[in-house]
Structures are given as structure tokens and as C-alpha cells.
Chains A and B, each alone.
Chain A
């Protein structure tokens, strides 16, 4: 098999934060050992609750943050060891669509110059070609030519996200990291933006890392899905596998929490995760999910002990993937 476009191994990012009067240092394990690959032209969905380290992962892949450990390889070339000029051309190949369309556009820059900014920074397009390129990008994402001279605040959220997409496409990247590109948008607008991203992928053959907490959107977009919890991947597999036959108790509870018509609004058959999300500064030992695991509660004592051990690496990060879950009828897991 040929080399994957992007290969991530053992990726970690630990933030040292100082709190309180004593400035006591604590380590936040925002990303704690990720392994995944991304093939050319494919989409990897990254899902998980707020604070599980999705954006941090995206920024690590963009080299906006330096990893604490682990490696990122683009076409087999380690990204961490790039020289300054190599980093500049790496920046051309990996681009990002940001979570918040309101703050990811400079309020004092016209739409045209915002889209032209990557071209200016990389100096690969001759000045006389920039205007044409900007116009064709704007056309591609469904903005009208006269929008070029307007400012971001004159646009709706969906249009701003289109501007962000045009900017990310300007340098013809191989990978675009979409960090919750639609979660700040109206539901009615979400589908349009998601479809735009899909059309662009079909047309240009680029790869996406698609970050989201909305499972329905991920199901629509992704070829592969990685489910994250407290900086670790809980379950990793093809879309059909994750949505059709989820193994990990966390995945199963996430899927069951997705509102669906069949389940009905009043259904009590959902698995609700107990307790609060543990702090990434002080995660549980062994399986990080065990404190909220709906299977853990039903496990016999001797099996529970195993959960305190480190999980072996694999596509399902669970000691007892087939254990029954608390409060869960079989039907609920498949209805999404």
C-alpha cells in the first residue's frame, strides 16, 4: 500500500497552567496519545465532547502548536523537523477552516483581501493573477463578485464561513482541517455549508480532518471516524462501523444521545452519561472513561479491576467492549 497522506503517531500536547496565588503548576493533558492516518481525498471525522482536545489536535496538525510528544508526517516527511523555508511550504499544503466565522476573519479587512492574504503571504501567485484567483474562489464558494469590497460584519454567519472556506482553498492545499465549521451556524445553513465542503472535495480531491461534536454531520461527511474522550481516541473505524456497529461504551452512549425521530422526544431509553467530565488536568487512571462509563456500573468487581489498567492500543480502547450498558435497550444504539 502507498503511504498515507497524513500519519499521526503518539501525538501528545500537555499544557502547563499556573493557577492561584501560589502559581501552582498543573499539567492539562489536552491531547494524550493519538494515532491515526488520513488518506488522500478522504475525510477523517474527529468527534467528542467539548474540551476533549479536538481543536488542540487541529492546531497541532497545522503546526500552530508544538507537540509535547509524538510525530506528524505529511507524505512521510516529519513535520516537526521542517526547516523554516520548508515550514513555509508546509503551510501551503495544510489549511484550516476555523470554528468561529465571526472571529476568524479580520474585521478591518475586506473579503477580497482576506481571501488574497494567503496568496500574499506565500508570494506564489503573481500580483496580476491574485484578483482573478480571488474572484474564482469567491465564485466557487457562492459569493458574488461585488462582495469582494465589503467587510465581514456585513455578512451572515454562513456567508462568513464561505469566506473562510475560500481563504482555506486559496493555496490549493492537500489537507483542510475543518474545526467545527458549522457548529456556530443556523441549522438551515449548516447543510449548505457541509454540502459545499463535500462538493469541493469531490472536485479537488482534497482531504479533510472534519472536527465536530454533531454526529449527524460527521456521518454525512466522514469516511473514517475517531471518537475522542479526554485527549484520547476511544474508538476508531470506518463510518459504517462506528455508526452501524459501535463497540466502545462511549461511542454507544454518544450515539444513543443523538435525537432521532424514531426514538421520540420523550423517550427515557437514552443512555445518559453520569457525572461531570473529569478535568483533563487530573484524568482517571487506567481507562479515562471508567468514571462515567455506563458499562462499568454493571461490571462485576473482578472485571472492574481491569479498567484501572492502561488500555492496549487498538481500534477500540476498552477492556470490556461487549459489556452491557446501564439502561440501554438494544434498539437505542442503532437508531441515529
Chain B
């Protein structure tokens, strides 16, 4: 931290010109100095742009993710029925990443729109987990007593669950329920069900961390001061406590996004997540595995895999950098 915290005070009336840097300001300075962090940040930004600009990019390419090309000039009709012919399997000017086997849809368009779905699911489920975890953890730590016991037991329970098994069984149920809702249009059902399931199962660990932090913050004199002028519980938690755990929450959130990207991919791969015709990176992996396409068309498997690996790696490295940068004990300045 800054030198202003040292015991010797300068003469009064001459305020020290310690540059007014906030926590985030200092963290940003540190991130900027790390090459790995900057490269990962750039990749993350590029991936987000890729997803956001999917309609624009595919328009430039002149393709869309749903148009099928099953003509005999595109897909093999004899030896390996459905396999793209050599000119269509790999990148070309017409199809930037080639076409997929079976339906002959444009891979680039599906990857771009799939990025939208994958990133939205990861982001929204992370937000759900972060809100649940922060609020419940802060409430447990702040109120203590019965509220704390109830929330703590709930945390234990959620951490003890075999997540994957539970998610595998809940996701299909949720999807069939959502299908009947009036909102069920487009990719609403798969996205919502995955966001709910992943968000709902991801909060417990964060809640435990936040609870621990709040337990020590609660003992600080400034909380007592706030109580002494009649601060309400709500503003105590929102204004006095949560800003002090924001760093921890931010680190956890950046670590959680890649976890959720992977989780979406895994669930869709296992067939309980995003389903054709909605593209997502997991759905594409699933498609590559179905009918053993990847044996004769490894490129079809490689495209979503590489996108996934690069993105998850970039997010994880960025998360590490954010954690180091926000750590007041870190030696780097």
C-alpha cells in the first residue's frame, strides 16, 4: 500500500501528495506491467468482440449459422456420406473455417454465434453465482447467529453435492419445464437453463470466502462507527462492507468465468446443455463426437476445441494476474 500509512505524521496543514490511487488504480498499474496479463487481456477482449460482432463478421463473410449446404458439390455422397469434400472441409475464401459435416453449415458462423452463447452463459451464470455468494456470505458474516448457521449449513450442503451428477439430472428437467413457458423462443431455453443451473451451483464457495472476510471486517472500528450513527443493516452491508470484499469477489469472478465456459462445454457435450440448432462451443464439440465425424474430419473437432482452450487459458491467466495485482501483500508494485 502507500507510504501514507506509516506512523510518523507530517506537519499538519501540509497534506501529503501521495498520488490519489484507489485499489483498482493500483491493480491496473500492476496488470499493465505484466506481459502475460496484457496478452491474456487482449485475447479476452478479442473473444468478446468476436462474439459481439458475430452478425457483422458473418455478414462480411456472406454466410449464416443456420443455412445448410447439403448439395453433392459440398458434401460427399458416396464413400463417407455427409463428409465435406476437400474444398469445403478447410478454410477457404467462401467459408472462412470450412463447413461442418452432415448439414454443411458454415463453421465460422457457427463458431462466432456459438461464442455468443458460450460467453453469455458463462457471464450470466457467474453473475448469478457472484450475487448469491456475495449477498449470502455477507449476510451470514454480518448478522451471525441463526442466520449464519442456516446459511453456513446451506454452503456445506452445496459444497458437498456431487455437482456434475446433479446438474446432469436437473438440466433436462429444467429445460422441459422452460419449453412450455411463453418465453420459449430461440436460444432462450438452453441459455436460461444453463445459467440457472451453473449459477445456482457455483455460489457456495464464494459465499464461504466472503463470510470469512466479513467476519473480520465486522470487528473493525469503522463498522462500530457506522452503527453509532444509526446506519441501517442494508446500507451497512452494501456501502460499508461489500466495497471491502469487492477485490476478493472480482478475483473469484474472473476465475469463475473460465470454469463456467468449460462447464457449459461439458454439459452441452454430454447432451444436456445447448442443443442443435443453437450453436455453442459445447454443442459443436457434441456434434463432432456424434456419428464419429471427428475420425474423418478432425478439423471439425479442432475448431471449437482451440477456441475453448485459448479463451479459458486467457481468462485463467488474467484471473491470476488480477489476484496478484489486488493482493496488498504482493511485492510487485
Contact = CB atoms under 8 A, between A and B. Distances in A.
B8 A117 contact: no
Contacts of B246: 108
A157 B5 CA distance: 8
A103 B23 CA distance: 17
B232 interface: yes
Interface string B1-32: 11011011111110110101011000000000
Given A106-B244, A121-B235, A192-B12, A91 B5 contact: no
B226 interface: yes
B225 A158 contact: no
Contacts of A113: 239
Given A104-B222, A109-B243, A142-B12, 5 more contacts: A99-B221, A103-B220, A108-B244, A109-B240, A185-B9
B230 interface: yes
CB-based closest 3 A-B pairs: A108-B243, A156-B9, A118-B229
Query: Max chain B CB contacts within 10 Å: which of A150, A154, A170?
Result: A154
Contacts of B179: none
11 contacts: A59-B224, A91-B230, A98-B221, A100-B221, A106-B222, A121-B226, A121-B229, A121-B230, A155-B16, A158-B12, A171-B229
A117 B9 contact: no
Contacts of A171: 229
B231 A159 contact: no
Given A106-B222, A117-B239, A157-B9, A149 B20 contact: yes
A273 interface: no
B15 A144 contact: yes
Nearest to B244: A108
A62 B221 CA distance: 14
A120 B230 CA distance: 10
Contacts of A153: 1-2, 4-5, 18
Given A95-B228, A96-B228, A108-B246, A154 B16 contact: yes
Interface in A137-172: 142, 144, 147, 149-151, 153-159, 164, 167, 170-171
B227 interface: yes
A277 interface: no
B9 A64 contact: no
A158 B9 contact: yes
B15 A117 contact: no
B285 to A, nearest CB: 42
A255 B59 CA distance: 88
A167 B232 CA distance: 17
Given A121-B230, A159-B12, A154 B222 contact: no
A196 B216 CA distance: 33
B229 A154 contact: no
Interface string A22-62: 00000000000000000000000000000000000001001
Contacts of A91: 228-230
Interface in A249-296: none
A2 interface: no
Nearest to B19: A154
The contact size tier of chain B is 35 or more
B229 A95 contact: yes
A302 interface: no
A102 B220 CA distance: 10
B224 A64 contact: yes
A156 B225 contact: no
Nearest to B18: A154
Contacts of B10: 156
A155 B4 contact: yes
Given A156-B9, A158-B12, A103 B222 contact: yes
A106 B230 contact: no
Query: Max chain A CB contacts within 10 Å: which of B9, B23, B224?
Result: B9
A188 interface: yes
A238 interface: no
B229 A102 contact: no
B168 to A, nearest CB: 41
Nearest to A144: B15
A170 B221 CA distance: 18
Nearest to B226: A117
Interface in A112-147: 113, 117-118, 120-122, 142, 144, 147
A170 B239 CA distance: 18
A147 B225 CA distance: 21
B204 to A, nearest CB: 25
A12 interface: no
Given A100-B221, A105-B222, A156-B12, A151 B20 contact: yes
Contacts of B16: 154-156
A189 interface: yes
